[in-house]
Structure 1
Amino acid sequence: FSLDEIAILVRATHQMRAFEDRFLTIGLPYRVVGGPRFYERMEIRDAMAYLRLAVSPSDDLAFERIVNTPRRGLGDKAQQRIREAARAEDVPQVVGAARLLEAGGLKGKGAGALRTLLSDIGRWHEAVRAGTPSHVELAEMILDESGYTAYWQNQKTPEAEGRLENLKELVKALEGFENLQGFLEHVSLVMDNDAELDEPKVSLMTLHAAKGLEFPAVFLPGWEEGLFPNQRSLDESGLKGLEEERRLAYVGITRAAELCTISFAANRLVHGQWQSQMPSRFIDELPEDHVEVLTPPGLYGGGYGAAGMRGGAASDLEARAARADAYNSPGWRRMQAAAANRSLRQPAEARGLVVDMGAAPAFGVGDRVFHQKFGYGTVTDVEGDKLDIDFDKAGAKKIVARFVVAAESATDVPF
């Protein structure tokens, strides 16, 4: 299949973030159908503005975006006064706003709310400099203390739930970075990589946006209880909600003209904690005669799940997937070759194991490495488990060694 013939359909918009980040890292062209990209969504831009102010209070564009978001009684006239005060003294708007308050240039509810906001920005900035709490906890604290999370919780609009899920996904994305600065640099790179080239692209969209469309190959990830069917839909609408979710499942499956691949995660990282997931009930409802099971080898080796244990002829789906361009990478071929040689037996218990407590560094100066967010780079210095790396596209950064792999191993991911 060419990239134009492949679509990934998700239940909720927040599921797109991981795909977008990964596609940009490996340079795979994609398009988001039916809405903006993850980092272009209104709530994500607002949240990012708060995070940028915590790192750099002199960021005037970020300040202008959130000074009255959520509403603080600071209308256009009040914001104009702040800009004029800052321009008159050639200082950032945060400083201009503080001096305007000192001079009594703003009164009433708006003045009190602005004073609180400026105090919060200063406190968040000190937390960034001190490194405590962690950048993930700080991001959650900023969204809560600013009133932005509560703003969407109090909204009764249909899209409010989705926006809250997107904010949770944004905080989750921070877990892959050492600090806020590194995350903001990554997002800047993502947003800069928006060239609309006339080339084949994978289509990424929600199940709702896919109605009426059709693709030769369709991937349906995240078929897990609570995610799909959506738990909130079940809680609020009961059986009616379940039937609507089942209709969405039907929509997703019937978008595929030739090949439909459904997947679910056995474990998912939620709020920093790994949680076991149950496969969606919709998977059990699929007719057996029309389903072939193709799962990666388990922890202790063996074949492809239930399909590998049946014996007999190999799965036609497996053969077709091996021939498909999307799965024809060296890593995928190595995984397939290794699967045939794996034993179904579990490994024997290791006895007499000696552990060297003084572990040697995994990488040395000059080694080529790969980072999931920043791509390829060269190690320039090693200090314990921290590496100074000069990335080809993202520049120089300090990275914990466990977050990178040797460059020659980067293709082991089956893309």
Structure 2
Amino acid sequence: MSTDELLAALDEDQRAVAERLTGPLCVLAGAGTGKTRAITYRIAHGVRAGVYNPQTVLAVTFTARAAGEMRSRLRDLGVGGVQARTFHAAALRQLSYFWPGAVGGSLPRIAEHKASLVAEAASRLGLGADRVAVRDLAGEVEWAKVSLVTAEDYPARAAGTGRDAVAGHDHATVARLLSVYEDVKNERGVIDFEDVLLLLVGILLEREEVAAQVRAQYRHFVVDEYQDVSPLQQRLLDLWLGGRKEICVVGDVSQTIYSFTGASPRFLTDFPRRYPGAQVVRLVRDYRSTPQVVDVANRVLARAGRHRDSAAVELLAQRPTSVPVRFTTYDDDVAEARGVAARIGELTARGVPLSEIAILYRTNGQAEAFEQALADAGIGYLVRGGERFFARREVREALVLLRGAVRASAGQPLGEAVRDVLASVGWAAQPPAGRGAARERWESLDSLVHLADDLQASRGADMAGLVAELDERVAAQHAPTVAGVTLASLHAAKGLEWDAVFLTGVSEGLLPISLAEGADAVAEERRLLYVGITRAREHLELSFARARTVGGRASRTRSRFLDGIWPDDAARPAGGRRAAARARTAEFAAEHPADAALFDRLREWRGEVARAISKPAYTVLHDTTLQAIATAKPKDLRQLAVLRGIGSTKLETYGPQVLALVRGEDVDVAEWLAR
């Protein structure tokens, strides 16, 4: 692509980002507006124009997956050599390089987990913390460190920011634990992940020659997801810059969902004040989601009222109109899980791949019911946050074999070569029947086959290119897509997207979660719902269960965030029941075009019956029952009886007429009444 072609591939706002190559730039990018495209094209444009040396550009992301995606996109644009890393990865690389000269010796080992260190510190203080308490205390240790709060400062800072007592301990006790935690860590000769940034900050402050060397290496900075920056990360970024203003930040205040970890959107919102004259560009065109999904997302934020941030972006949908958003209330959690599994079955029958479907929830404890329902329905799934893809035995074996096949496969098409290699470890053209370990093993291997096909088609890669790509993905933990429905918490879903999203458990106590106290905490829960909604490209279904258990008390109510959005009696717009009925009819017609005519005939018949017997139409048969009849098309009374909403009385009263309508016959309601 020429420079003109590069810029012509962007919309007006994205192009404004790509053309501003120097000076401070703040990009307020709504969900699905192409922020990664804008900043990668900006880097590519800068390199093409000779403004950037790719080796002097550092792009900082918040996940290894995002860093890997950015490097991949830059390579596709013909730009190599740009460093795209997470804050921790970039800091660790610099710390490892400068440590021997600045401090001496080898860099201490990084403790993978804080649990044992925190447990030891708690034991020394006689706190007797259990596993849950240790987890909560470890989280508070992380918050203090990324917030640049010392043990001495902790009581005042924690009180000033309204932090609750942790694991039942007052602020003074937690402050003592912070101090003892550092002692335990030093005695074991280890550092934690926050220390990687803290130690590098210390070296850059104390050793001017080290700071000068880093600043000579990196001259242009890009920071993605800037709304999630912590004070510690901002301190490191300031030291990297050293007073220079060659920085582009990209963020969305409406996706600030990690404040409990120390992240703060104030660095994004204050950027124009910190950098007077900085250009601010808003990306508002949403290319990800349909107008129906975008409308719900905008309305959720709009109802935030005075708590809505002025920097928030209102999205403008760019995709064609599609199916309506579905809202469903279930009797209990089991019914919700089974209902979602049934809907997934319908979507897959209409061609939506399992890998493009996600079930999202507020807490990980909600996953179990959905796992069981999917397993019962024979639907494959994977839980995001489970075993890492590249840690699976079959994947490790496959990588060894693929590396060994680099020379032997020379001249052979990549897809064909990979299939030949992986056939020796269990891959086949057709998946094994059913679920279980064999199917999961096959899905892992099949994802490698699809990755090979994609690389061959997009880059003309050979086996050596595939192995290089996989080595980079291993380092970044950037796994290829595995066939199966994704189950994930709303926090884990950040940065991802699917064709179909089931947003479950949208009830008070779960969203907002009961632990959310105060306006700020509740506002963050609203943003969490917004993040979940904007993960959906086309199909979005929101649901909740009135009771936790089968037959339990139906005490739950839907989330307050959906007041005025959820189509029920309590919050229905002008038009009342008839408007809602028309909406349901349009929704069914859009999703089941082949069954819409029969549904209309059934509704007309029901209306005649209702008028004839002087009763409301819904008492004859509910819309959901008519829809079930239209899709199932029962051939006899036995098949009709199994449908929900058809009891013995209604089967006897209306069954023959319904079956006649299904067969396409005319039904004379007056004649039936005369009998």
Q: Tell whether the structures are fold-level matches, with TM greater than 0.5.
A: no
Larger radius of gyration: 2
TM-score interval (norm. to shorter): 0.3 to 0.5
Q: Determine which structure has greater relative contact order: mean sequence separation of CA pairs < 8 Å that are 6+ residues apart, divided by chain length.
A: 1
Structure with bigger helix share is 2
